[in-house]
A and B are shown apart, each in its own frame.
Chain A
């Protein structure tokens, strides 16, 4: 006998920018019908014609119940075309408003009173988008106010956005175990040389350094090429193929350390598979939903982040590897057992990715 239903809500999105706030406000046609009357012919249906005919009244009614003020003034918004959106419980009128502020860094106060005078159970559900973060909340008769802080916001495309993508790049290489393992597997033998089927310590730091430089540079050049191609949308490969091939590349690099077949040509392998890893990076960039206008900047930032992250790993790895290269621990345990482990993990990844299974927790 006692059942719950969807009550009256309006939905607001506040997009904060340094000198302006964009508001999308969705109001249920059922609510507007009650307070303004849209169904002119009273047939129980609201057509687009009927809504358009009352556009002025709808806007006037709504705007009188959303007061946006800065320090001193009530702001008048510019209003864009009236649109319609479907939500889970029916059709809504969509008001798109733009409030411009006088000074770049101040806060705005929003006071909401839509429908409270006819339906005290009405709520305004809002989300506030500020840079990359989103917060949510609601307007009610007891909490009708919201303060929007515009301080510290910089326009997208400015240094902060660039910095954000650099950060994402670093983060991605550090948390993307497959890329790290590929690189480590390729670099493990760089402080060694191959003689008569055995690994011996390399004599010169210079020789090791050149090897490492070659591998890392070709990996970087290769993944930068494909990352760019994929990000601007020129090349698109299915992600299952990309992810499986990345896993395969790790296996190849690991096997090579146990049964070498490209001893001195590691850089070629790094280049060839670097192309595929680049597509992997690009898919992350797509998840971040970068605006088209900022493509070049964000691409550059992300790539720079990947290289910085990579460099940090090298700075930790190379000195340690060079110091330990003569020890049995390095040549035996690390190179052999380590490569077996890396190869084993990558094999499971390959199976997971190729057959869409879930085995490992990472």
Chain B
């Protein structure tokens, strides 16, 4: 009987992906899908027109680069990866060519890094920089990837090369981020705070959001939650639905045990996986048994299953958090956290690894994190508190 039950459970879970029941909508005016919050704007119309032109002249390089850049930007704004697929398609004639132009290489590297293919993205950038060493965009992307993967000394050398190649505030942001992860977070905070005050008036909103989020996270790691919150709020007030900002701010609020503030922030952003995850965590810590929490958890489960079927592994951080906080499966969380750590090494990844190792009662499994913290002199009060013997093995979410 147990065997049968197990088999049928497995069968059920494997079919979650296909499980939507078909129906016939009851009225013609029933809205089935919301594509955007707003009507099509002129930029989107233009991109659509350019894509149409490109389909007639697919080998027009200038047009292809414009279209791909436009789609990558839409993917970032809407959090919808299918636009990256369209961008990939636009670049298809040059994608595998050994002498691909720098403009194609840069976009290719950007697409690779979005799928967490960091070594391949770095290789692409090195290839580009070999023939074009003063390419600011490539230098900046390279510095960011080196930082995300925890290669700080190399990242630092890369940022030095940024000076004069990219706008000053971008070079400074990259430098401050590395400083904050290598034992100089106070300097990083001062640098960024000063820079924010003298930003040129024409600085783009997305650059402002990036710098403010950076500052908020640094302050949060230093334990200055008041300053962190001020910066997060300033960034949110700029009005863009930046995925990275919303995820970071939600993590901050969840950590402060303020889940009810996360819900309105993410309610209409749940198409994006990492935001659906934070939304589910917030709903679950308000009431694990509520139907909204259960529905969100089931949706996540279905998306992870679809990703597995596709063979994607770019979601390991999110899936690890999901296993740890929403499924209470410490062993699965540890496995995912470990695999994720091999790919990226941001403080969030470190914390997930520490928490999962402890929940699975294998604290020694997280030794790589301890080494990373020691070697780089990481200053993060949340990570430090995870190491204290008295600190709880589970988060509040797990207790429910």
Contact = CB atoms under 8 A, between A and B. Distances in A.
Interface of A: 1-9, 11, 13, 24, 26, 29-31, 33-34, 39, 42-49, 51-52, 81, 83-92, 94, 96, 117-123, 125, 127, 134, 136-138, 171-172, 175-176, 284, 287, 362
A46 B306 CA distance: 24
Interface in B20-44: 20-25, 27-40
Chain A contact residues: helix, strand, loop or mixed: mixed
Contact of A85 (B11, B21, B310): B21
A17 B122 CA distance: 50
A33 B18 contact: no
Contacts of B148: 1-2
Contacts of A171: 4
20 contacts: A3-B243, A3-B244, A3-B273, A5-B271, A6-B271, A6-B273, A7-B81, A13-B18, A26-B18, A30-B82, A31-B82, A44-B39, A48-B29, A49-B28, A83-B24, A84-B32, A88-B299, A88-B303, A125-B18, A138-B309
A117 to B, nearest CB: 8
A42 B28 CA distance: 16
B70 to A, nearest CB: 14
B314 interface: yes
Interface residues on B, range: 35 or more
Contacts of B251: none
Interface string B293-307: 000001110110011
A320 to B, nearest CB: 26
Nearest to B35: A44
A28 to B, nearest CB: 8
B266 interface: no
Interface in B297-332: 298-300, 302-303, 306-307, 309-312, 314-315, 318
Given A44-B38, A84-B23, 13 more contacts: A1-B144, A2-B114, A2-B116, A11-B18, A26-B18, A39-B35, A44-B35, A47-B32, A49-B28, A85-B20, A119-B86, A127-B18, A287-B5
Contacts, number: 186
A234 B4 CA distance: 25
Given A5-B272, A284-B4, A48 B33 contact: no
A1 B244 contact: yes
B25 A84 contact: yes
A136 B310 CA distance: 11
B20 A86 contact: yes
B113 interface: yes
B32 A46 contact: yes
Contact of A48 (B18, B32, B243): B32
A47 B39 CA distance: 15
A175 to B, nearest CB: 6
A117 B54 CA distance: 13
B2 A52 contact: no
- Nearest first, the 8 closest Cβ-Cβ pairs linking A and B are A119-B85, A49-B28, A85-B20, A48-B25, A121-B85, A88-B302, A44-B36, A83-B22
A92 B22 CA distance: 9
Interface of B: 1-5, 8, 11, 14-15, 17-18, 20-25, 27-40, 79-82, 84-86, 88-89, 92, 113-114, 116, 144, 148, 243-244, 247, 271-274, 298-300, 302-303, 306-307, 309-312, 314-315, 318, 344
A2 B243 CA distance: 9
Contacts of A44: 34-40
Contact of A4 (B2, B5, B30, B312): B312
Nearest to A11: B18
A49 B29 contact: yes
Contacts of B39: 42-44
A320 B134 CA distance: 90
A156 B41 CA distance: 55
A2 B274 CA distance: 10
Contacts of A11: 17-18, 20
B24 A4 contact: no
Contact of B306 (A9, A52, A117, A119): A9
Nearest to B301: A88
B273 A45 contact: no
Most buried by B among A33, A49, A121: A121
Contact of B271 (A13, A81, A90): A90
Contact of A176 (B1, B38, B81, B273): B1
Given A4-B116, A6-B273, A49-B28, A118 B86 contact: yes
A136 B308 CA distance: 11
Most buried by B among A1, A9, A94, A137: A1
Nearest to A90: B33
A125 B29 contact: no
B273 A84 contact: no
